[in-house]
Amino acid sequence: MVLMKMKFPFEKRVKLAQGLWLLSWMATLAGAFTFTLGCFLKTELRRRAEVMDNTEIHAVPNTLMIVGLASLGINYFAGRMCQDALDAGRFPRWKTFMQPYWGVSLLFTLLMLMAVIMSYAMKGNLESSLKIGLKNGIRFYKDTDTPGRCFQKQTIDRLQMEFRCCGNTDFKDWFEVQWISNRYLDFSSKEVKDRVKSNVDGRYLFDGVPFSCCNPSSPRPCIQDRLTNNSAHYSYEHQTEELNIYIRGCREALVNYYMGLMNTIGAGVLSVFLLQSSVLVSLRYLQTTMEALAGQENTEIETEGYLLEKGVKETIMEYVTPVLVFLQLNQVGSEDTEA
């Protein structure tokens, strides 16, 4: 059964070709926009690569860049076909090109939709990546003399100041690591000796945070050490007073930032997907209505256009069956070889 059949008089075919030409150029610009969004997201992710444990999240910008570039080529040829559709004598030259064109177009259009879905579904991967990456960043904060970690302190400090956050989950994460290098500790001091000896691993742990955790909006001068010692500061109660350091953890801040970014990008790419789908649907109608003119002397007669010559199930099986037969033959061939 023919799916979504429509009649196209000559004037309607001309308007379809002209409208599709304009739509294809809009989709070309949208493809360039998609590529730009992918580059922007890729750059933002690479900026924080030192506090991310894996690169799976890069699948989103990589896919956006690929489909953006592919969209430029797809819609360029769509525009050319629209121009030739105005001349019934020139359109048949695209006949052999249409089959691979549809295959490539559908593939990249589906990839675009997949990129939209991934942009909303990557929160779990992003959060787990940041959890481990930030944990290692805090752990290696003090290693300014270690090759490969020289800029870890600078990265974490800039991150905490830019996103107004402190630690991984919260500021108490700094209490669990030695974030001051031994070269800056006075081991002749009794306080330092006692703290090192009281720890099983021989680390210098205390209830303090780096300067980058300080909130400049606080009216009180920053209290960044002995945060849990009420007697160490005048008129201070750490359980009730609003601390003058950032309370929010950097993982939460970064997840909110990147998910907000990807959700916005996802909405934009979804609009591009709908535009690209409109181009493909319109082009399919143009193709089928022009093919109906083949062998006709009068090119201004009314013709019919449709999306699918058969039903959806029959069309899918028409393409899937040869693939299944091919795989089955390969399997039989492999079993014969092993025998």
Strand partners, 292: none
Report the C-alpha gap between 223 and 204 in whole angstroms. Answer: 19
CB 168 within 8 A of CB 250: yes
Which amino acid, residue 69?
A: L
Please give the structure tokens belonging to residue 330.
Answer: 């390969």
Helices of type H across the chain:
10-47, 59-85, 95-121, 123-139, 152-163, 190-197, 250-291, 312-338
**What's the pLDDT tens digit per position in 59-107?**
899 999 999 999 998 888 888 888 777 776 777 777 777 778 888 888 8
CB 168 within 8 A of CB 134: yes
Backbone angles phi, psi at 303, to 5 degrees: -130, 170
CB 257 within 8 A of CB 163: yes
Kindly calculate the radius of gyration of the chain based on its CA atoms and give it in whole angstroms: 31
Q: Indicate the burial class of 102 (C-beta count within 10 angstroms; 0-12, 13-18, 19 or more).
A: middle
Please give the structure tokens belonging to residue 338.
Answer: 């092993």
Residue 141 has pLDDT above 90, yes or no: yes
Helices of type H across 86-122:
95-121
222 CB-near residues (< 8 Å, 6+ apart): 211, 214, 215, 244, 245
Predicted pLDDT at 18: 87
Predicted pLDDT at 35: 94
Predicted pLDDT at 124: 86
What is the band of 331 on the pLDDT scale with cuts at 50, 70, 90?
low
**What's the pLDDT tens digit per position in 296-316?**
777 778 888 877 766 666 666
Total-model pTM: 0.79
**What's the pLDDT tens digit per position in 220-273?**
888 888 888 888 888 877 766 567 889 899 999 999 999 999 889 999 999 999
Report the C-alpha gap between 130 and 135 in whole angstroms. Answer: 8
What is the band of 121 on the pLDDT scale with cuts at 50, 70, 90?
confident
300 CB-near residues (< 8 Å, 6+ apart): 10
Predicted pLDDT at 131: 92
Distance of CA 202 to the CA centre of its chain: 43
What is the band of 336 on the pLDDT scale with cuts at 50, 70, 90?
low
Q: Which helix (H) or strand (E) holds 337?
A: helix 312-338
Residue 52 has pLDDT above 60, yes or no: yes
